[in-house]
Amino acid sequence: MLFGLVFKTVPVLHPGFFPMPKTHFPRVRRIAYEGPKSTNALAFRHYNPDEVIAGKTMREHMRFSIAYWHAFRGTGSDPFGSATIVRSWEKGSDPVSIAKTRMDAAFEFFQKIRAPFWCFHDRDIAPEGRSLAESNKHLDKIVAHAKDLQKATGVKLLWGTANLFSNPRFMCGAATNPDAHVFAYAAAQVKKALDVTKQLGGENYVFWGGREGYETLLNTHLKREQDHLATFLHLAVDYAKSIGFKGQFLIEPKPKEPTKHQYDFDVASGIAFLRTYGLEQHFKFNIETNHATLAGHTFQHEIEVAAAQGLLGSIDANTGDLLLGWDTDQFNTDVKELTLAMVSILKAGGLGSGGFNFDAKLRRPSIDPEDLFHAHIGGMDAYALAFKLARQILAEGKFERFVKERYASFDSGYGKDIEKRRIGFRELNQLVLKKLGEPKPRSGKQEYLENLLNTYLHG
Ligand code: XLS
Ligand code: NI
Ligand code: NI
């Protein structure tokens, strides 16, 4: 794609009289695939977007997405210190025009990093106004700009969402706030977020309930809050239907942070919640690696639990630091962890309308614009390599054969009768007493299997 198309609003005349597109990343060219032997730190070694595997390009297989909030609103600030990351485009007096320039920079980045998708919260892309009406007006201006940039670049929207956690009005939750006024405000905000997600052709819509939980039961009516959350999600489904929004709804479980206890703690509790309130046919899961580990699970566990119920939707691709108990949102370069995750994702038939969204941020001292490229290149390469290794593992089928054989006693005879519920305790009792006797122990062979896995990862 020609940059002239993208940055048509800001051409500048170069001394050589060539109109040069304004670039926000002058030191980085479009990232090229150079293969595994490349030593160029600003090249892909495993992610070749144009490579065709099983009839689809890697771009189509991976559906990588950039998280606007981290990549373009992240400043490196933490509870102990202010911003360290200062970007050249964050200049000007009017917040709406700064937001537009920032978005130009973002779309230049999306193109250079070869990401086909992006994701945003309403308040990431446009400044909050003094009233909801003013916020909506700001959002409309920026969404119109985003629409132009999407058209010019071909970059698409993986999902949109509403920020229902930063503003102080949401300090006690949004849909689970004890004040119906806040519930109403959150509903109005999500209505608008759904409108703009639809306008931008969003393929999904995400609910992450950052403050949908509680700090203390001394002031909390847990059952009422859960009922309200379910009502909120039903109202969202109804509204989406009324405007013809066809995207997939996703909930993103997280056990804690910012609240002490969040209602959609993990995928299993999310499934129970969705089923309890009759929402399971409208939602799937957006699974985040760091949230999985915060809940005491592996990434692969959460994927398998969702996939087992046909509810695997999308991935927030990041990782935590297991020595720290919070959401550090780091880029994941752990090929072993990702290969295992990919095996589960591929076995489940892939992510459908979902994708791999880099919900990950630079470390506080990583202040150069190039660091944004290094970070995403690392994540994309690790995922692409994991995808290829997982395909190889599944093609050879060694683990699957092992597992199949391990459960083979349920494939016929009384085992099959158990699975089909054709046999009861009385018959099983008779079987054991008269025929089967004591079961013969069989090794689980974990160490053998771990070694087998390493043969794929290290040859
Ligand atoms: C926070 C969440 C958030 C969601 C989108 O921990 O990961 O970034 O992905 O609201
Ligand atoms: Ni996330
Ligand atoms: Ni998170």
Q: Which pLDDT tens digit goes with each residue over 85-138?
A: 999 999 988 999 999 999 999 999 999 999 999 999 999 999 999 999 999 999
Q: Whose CA is nearest to atom 5 of ligand 1?
A: 208
CA distances from 386 to 316, 323, 336, 358, 434 (A): 16, 24, 7, 15, 50
Rounded Cα–Cα distance for residues 99 and 59 (Å): 28
Spatial contact of 50 and 59, defined as CB atoms under 8 Å apart:
yes
pLDDT for 459 equals 64
Closest C-alpha among 357, 367, 404, 337 to residue 110? 357
**8: pLDDT confidence band, cut at 50, 70 and 90?**
very low
- The mean predicted confidence, pLDDT, of the chain is 95
DSSP-based helix, strand, coil % in the chain, nearest 5 = 45, 15, 40
Cα of 381 from ligand 1 centre, angstroms: 23
pLDDT bucket at 16, cuts 50 / 70 / 90 = very low
Of 76 and 210, the one with more pLDDT: 76
Ligand 1, atom 2, residue with closest C-alpha: 208
Residue 421 pLDDT class (50, 70, 90 cuts): very high
What's the pLDDT at 458?
Answer: 86
Q: Residue 288 above 60 pLDDT?
A: yes
As a whole number, mean pLDDT of residues 62-75 equals: 98
60 close to 51: Cβ distance less than 8 angstroms: no
Q: How crowded is residue 175: how many other Cβ atoms within 10 Å of its Cβ?
A: 26
Q: What is the per-residue pLDDT for 337?
A: 98
Say which amino acid occupies 450: E
Please name which ligand lies nearest the alpha carbon of 211. 1
CB-based neighbours (< 5 A) of ligand 3, an ion:
288, 327
The whole-number average pLDDT for the span 353-357 is 99
Question: Which ligand ends up closest to the CA of 262?
Answer: 1
Q: How confident is the model at residue 307 (pLDDT cuts 50, 70, 90)?
A: very high
pLDDT tens digits, residue range 368-396? 999 999 999 999 999 999 999 999 999 99
- How many angstroms separate the CA atoms of 226 and 418, rounded? 37
CA of 121 to the centre of ligand 3 (A): 13
Banded pLDDT at 175 (limits 50, 70, 90): very high
